[in-house]
Amino acid sequence: MNKKVKGCLVLLLTLAITAGFCFLGYVGAPDIKLGLDLNGGVSITYQTVDPNPTAEQMSDTVYKLQLKAQGYSTEAQVYQEGSNRINIDIPGATDANEILKELGEPGTLQFADENGNVLLTGDDVKNATAGMTDKSGSREYVIELTFTDAGAEKFAQATADNVGKPLYIIYNDEVISSPNVQEAISGGQASITGITDYQEATNIASTIRIGALPVQLTELRSNVIGATLGQEAISSSLRAGAIGLGLVMLFMIAVYLLPGLAASIALIMYVGLELVLLQAFEVTLTLPGIAGIILSIGMAVDANVIIFTRIKEELGLGNNVHDAIKAGYSKALSAILDGNITTLIAAAVLYLRGSGTVKGFATTLAIGIVISLITALFVTRSIMWCFYQLGAENPKLYGVRKKAKILDFVGFRKKAYAISIVLIAAGFIFMGVNKAGTGNLFNYDLDFQGGSSTNVTFNEDLSMNDIDAKVIPVFKEVTGGDSSTQASKVAGTNEVIIKTRTLTTEERTELYDKLVDTFGVDENKITTENISGAVSVEMKKDAAWAFVIAIICMLIYIWVRFRDFRFASASVIALTHDVLVTVAFYAGLRWAVGSTFIACILTIVGYSINATIVIFDRIRENLAKPDGRKDLKLAVNDAVSQTLTRSINTSLTTFITVLVLFILGVSSIRDFTMPLMVGIVSGCWSSVMIAGPLWYDLTMMNSKNKAAKTKSSGKEKKKAGRVSGKTAEASGQK
Tell me how far CA of residue 226 lies from CA of 451, 471, 500, 555, in angstroms. Answer: 20, 20, 20, 43
Tell me the three state secondary structure of residue 186. coil
Same-domain pairing of 280 and 202 = no
The DSSP line for 447-461 is HHH-EEEEEEE-SS-
Cα–Cα distance measured from residue 307 to residue 445, given in angstroms and rounded to the nearest whole number: 42
Q: Assess contact for 226 and 523: CB atoms under 8 A.
A: yes
Same-domain pairing of 645 and 544 = yes
Cα–Cα distance measured from residue 706 to residue 696, given in angstroms and rounded to the nearest whole number: 15
- The rounded radius of gyration (Å) of the Cα atoms in the chain is 33
Cα–Cα distance measured from residue 283 to residue 35, given in angstroms and rounded to the nearest whole number: 9
Q: Assess contact for 122 and 212: CB atoms under 8 A.
A: yes
Same-domain pairing of 601 and 476 = no
**Which region holds residue 121: left if phi is over 0, alpha if psi is between -120 and 50, else beta?**
beta
Q: Is residue 628 part of a domain?
A: yes
Q: Assess contact for 653 and 301: CB atoms under 8 A.
A: yes
Picking from 156, 157, 133, 158, the residue whose alpha carbon sits closest to that of residue 144 is 133
Q: Is residue 117 part of a domain?
A: yes
Tell me the three state secondary structure of residue 198. helix
Range of the domain at 115: 107-212
Residues facing residue 102 across a β-bridge: none
User: 727: which residues sit within 8 A by CB, 6+ positions away?
Assistant: none
Cα–Cα distance measured from residue 716 to residue 710, given in angstroms and rounded to the nearest whole number: 10
Q: Assess contact for 15 and 265: CB atoms under 8 A.
A: yes
Query: What confidence score (pLDDT) does residue 431 get?
Result: 94
CATH of the domain at 486: 3.30.70.600
Question: In a 10 Å sphere around its CB, with 0-12 CB exposed, 13-18 middle and 19+ buried, how is residue 524 labelled?
Answer: middle
The beta strand positions in 10-84, using DSSP E, are 41-48, 77-81
Element containing residue 388 per DSSP (H, E) = helix 380-389
Tens of pLDDT, residues 649-706:
888 888 888 888 888 877 667 777 888 899 999 999 999 999 999 999 999 988 777 7
User: What is the DSSP code (8-state) at residue 397?
Assistant: G
Cα–Cα distance measured from residue 2 to residue 373, given in angstroms and rounded to the nearest whole number: 31
Residues facing residue 205 across a β-bridge: none
Cα–Cα distance measured from residue 169 to residue 660, given in angstroms and rounded to the nearest whole number: 57
Sign of the torsion angle spanned by Cα atoms 346, 348, 352, 354: positive
Same-domain pairing of 405 and 512 = no
Same-domain pairing of 608 and 667 = yes
- In 212-355, alpha helices (H): 227-280, 287-316, 321-353
Packing angle, helices 321-353 and 356-374, rounded to 10: 170
Q: Is residue 669 part of a domain?
A: yes
Residues facing residue 131 across a β-bridge: 142
Residue 485: count of CB within 10 angstroms of its CB: 19
Cα–Cα distance measured from residue 198 to residue 142, given in angstroms and rounded to the nearest whole number: 8
Tens of pLDDT, residues 281-316:
777 777 677 767 777 777 778 888 888 888 888 888
- In 281-317, alpha helices (H): 287-316
Same-domain pairing of 620 and 585 = yes
Picking from 85, 101, 47, the residue whose alpha carbon sits closest to that of residue 528 is 101
Residues of the chain short of pLDDT 50, as ranges, are 723-734
Same-domain pairing of 526 and 541 = no
Cα–Cα distance measured from residue 497 to residue 111, given in angstroms and rounded to the nearest whole number: 44
Picking from 546, 648, 540, 661, the residue whose alpha carbon sits closest to that of residue 601 is 546
Listed residues 161, 183, 212: the one ending a domain = 212
Same-domain pairing of 524 and 540 = no
Picking from 380, 368, 369, the residue whose alpha carbon sits closest to that of residue 263 is 380
Q: Is residue 96 part of a domain?
A: no
Buried b (16+ CB within 10 A) or exposed e, 399-434: bbbeebeeeebbeebeebbeebeebbeebeebbeeb
Q: Is residue 277 part of a domain?
A: yes
Picking from 276, 299, 468, 312, the residue whose alpha carbon sits closest to that of residue 398 is 312
CATH of the domain at 205: 3.30.1360.200
**Total H helices, total E strands in the chain:** 22, 17
Q: Is residue 46 part of a domain?
A: no
Listed residues 187, 212, 237: the one ending a domain = 212
Q: Assess contact for 493 and 460: CB atoms under 8 A.
A: no
Picking from 476, 470, 467, the residue whose alpha carbon sits closest to that of residue 518 is 470
Same-domain pairing of 155 and 175 = yes
> Identity (one letter) of the amino acid at 360?
G
- In 29-51, alpha helices (H): 36-39
Question: In a 10 Å sphere around its CB, with 0-12 CB exposed, 13-18 middle and 19+ buried, how is residue 681 labelled?
Answer: middle
Looking at the structure of the chain, the number of domains it has is: 3
Tell me the three state secondary structure of residue 481. coil
> Rounded to 5 degrees, what angle do the CA atoms 116, 119, 123 make?
125
Cα–Cα distance measured from residue 686 to residue 678, given in angstroms and rounded to the nearest whole number: 12
Same-domain pairing of 292 and 399 = yes
Listed residues 158, 187, 212: the one ending a domain = 212
Task: Order the strands of the 125-135 sheet from edge to edge.
Answer: 125-135, 138-147, 189-195
Question: In a 10 Å sphere around its CB, with 0-12 CB exposed, 13-18 middle and 19+ buried, how is residue 223 labelled?
Answer: buried
Q: Is residue 198 part of a domain?
A: yes
Same-domain pairing of 577 and 608 = yes
Cα–Cα distance measured from residue 529 to residue 36, given in angstroms and rounded to the nearest whole number: 12
Longest dimension (CA), the chain: 138
Tell me the three state secondary structure of residue 332. helix
Query: What confidence score (pLDDT) does residue 599 get?
Result: 72
Cα–Cα distance measured from residue 634 to residue 282, given in angstroms and rounded to the nearest whole number: 51
Residues in the chain: 734
Question: In a 10 Å sphere around its CB, with 0-12 CB exposed, 13-18 middle and 19+ buried, how is residue 349 labelled?
Answer: buried
CATH of the domain at 257: 1.20.1640.10
Tell me how far CA of residue 522 lies from CA of 235, 287, 513, 583, in angstroms. Answer: 19, 21, 10, 36
Q: What is the β-pairing status of strands 443-444 and 592-593?
A: parallel
Cα–Cα distance measured from residue 217 to residue 87, given in angstroms and rounded to the nearest whole number: 12
Tell me how far CA of residue 604 lies from CA of 237, 355, 728, in angstroms. Answer: 21, 18, 68
Q: Is residue 634 part of a domain?
A: yes
Query: What confidence score (pLDDT) does residue 726 get?
Result: 43
Same-domain pairing of 203 and 235 = no
Tell me how far CA of residue 717 lies from CA of 135, 155, 631, 707, in angstroms. Answer: 112, 97, 31, 15
